[in-house]
Structure 1
Amino acid sequence: MKINKLQYIATTAQAAGLACQGGVRWVQLRVKNLPPTEWRQRALATQAACRQYGSTLIINDNPALALEIGADGVHLGQQDMPPAEARALLGPGFIIGGTANTFADIEALVAAGVNYIGLGPFRFTTTKEKLSPILGLAGYAEIMAQCRATGITVPIVGIGGVGLADMAALWATGVHGVAVSGAIGQAANPTATAALFVAEVADNQYVATA
């Protein structure tokens, strides 16, 4: 199961489409406090945008909706459905991601059988209502070293306020990839900015060390 090195967190189908135009091929739809009908409509519209570009669609927080519309997977926060329960609902073919803030979180998620882990936050971000302690580069370096020492190979993705200038240093810690929200979505030209991130990920000098 391929886990992309660049993941874009979108709140609308339009935002997803603009990022996909720039070469993004993994979109996580994150919506909060929407009525179920509106959430479903937004998910279907985002799915259509992703399919136009052959992009993977991950639904945040809502395994039932992911199953209903046939999304590629679901991302579960620490207050959401347990990954093992989501796996029982979704079956083996769905991608399941989980959120971690500590090495202990990672160990628990690996034991639960997730396909990838979003580790963060890298720095302060307004996209999370309940922000865990900020890790910074030192935190990533320490946790990734623990993962290597214990043989954990589940792809780990840095998340939380990640900008283009952070990529090289984050890659040096050994993360598999990064998840980006505001740096693309709030840019003056989201499509062009997405293309810059795609190019940065493709650059051979930034190959993860783990």
Structure 2
Amino acid sequence: MPSGVVLLTDRRVARRSLVAVVGAAVRGGVRWVVLREKDLPRAERAALAAALRAILADAGGTLIVAGPDPLGGDAVHLPSAGPYPPPRLALVGRSCHDEAELARLTTEDHVTLSPVFPTKTKPGYGPPLRPPGLRRLIEVSPVPALALGGIETPEHVRACVEAGAVGVAVLGALMRADDPTETAVMLTRAFEGALR
């Protein structure tokens, strides 16, 4: 089950190659990565998935693929729109934004709840839940929830954990970081500290 700091990929905002950024984040403690890059042809995306799985395998981590095609793996993260029912795989997550979407869940293992804070990646997407809204959705969610959206600081991480999130899904703070390892260490320490 994803927990801690979960990295979502976006090669368009990454400061270096996606493989380099993911490798650096994994050195900083990230053990869960969601491969997005849905615009790539399947063969390119599958090759990227294989490269990222190799990095994560060395650290005991897991790659989750956004969309219903696991690209040779057994973990996916689905959009709120579908497909329903979800595919039968070892690990299935789904993006949710409100109670109605949570009520449609069937066999999913976890959800992301977003956006918690205003986000640079999807400006104008929202309105942001903020920690009180996140807490309300976590209380009605039938499965564990990751907080997503605009999470960039240790304070953000702590607020999400205090609201009940089992982890935080981070895109911009790691993809845009000058030093993804240092940023991953900082966010992971904040997560671990918030659990105490």
**TM, length-normalised to structure 1:** 0.80
Per residue, is there more helix in 1 or in 2? 1
**Count, aligned residues:** 188
1:69 aligned partner, one-letter code: G
Show structure 1 runs of 5+ residues with no match.
Answer: none
Q: Kindly provide the CA deviation profile for residues 148-175 of structure 1, in whole angstroms up to 9, marking residues without a partner as x.
A: xxxx551111101112221222222222
Map of 1:207 onto structure 2: 195
Q: 2:107 aligns with which of 107, 113, 134?
A: 113
Q: Kindly provide the CA deviation profile for residues 157-204 of structure 1, in whole angstroms up to 9, marking residues without a partner as x.
A: 11011122212222222222211111122111110110111111112x
The answer to whether the 8 A contact 1:29-1:58 is kept is yes
Q: Counterparts of 1:179 and 1:85 in 2: how far apart (Å)?
A: 21
Q: 1:153–1:207: structure 2 CA closer, same or farther, 3 Å change rule?
A: farther
Q: Kindly provide the CA deviation profile for residues 84-135 of structure 1, in whole angstroms up to 9, marking residues without a partner as x.
A: 2412xx3xxx1000011002211212xx111001000112324459935421
Q: 1:16–1:108: structure 2 CA closer, same or farther, 3 Å change rule?
A: same
Q: 2:96 aligns with which of 79, 95, 100?
A: 100
Q: Counterparts of 1:40 and 1:9 in 2: how far apart (Å)?
A: 16
> Cα RMSD over matched residues?
2.1
The answer to whether the 8 A contact 1:101-1:133 is kept is no
Q: Counterparts of 1:52 and 1:129 in 2: how far apart (Å)?
A: 35
Q: 1:59–1:129: structure 2 CA closer, same or farther, 3 Å change rule?
A: farther
Q: Counterparts of 1:174 and 1:199 in 2: how far apart (Å)?
A: 17
Show structure 2 runs of 5+ residues with no match.
Answer: 11-17
The answer to whether the 8 A contact 2:93-2:110 is kept is yes
The answer to whether the 8 A contact 2:38-2:66 is kept is no
2:114 aligned partner, one-letter code: G
The answer to whether the 8 A contact 2:117-2:129 is kept is yes
1:47 aligns with 2:18: no
Q: 1:69 aligns with which of 61, 69, 72?
A: 72
Percent sequence identity is 30
Map of 2:38 onto structure 1: 32
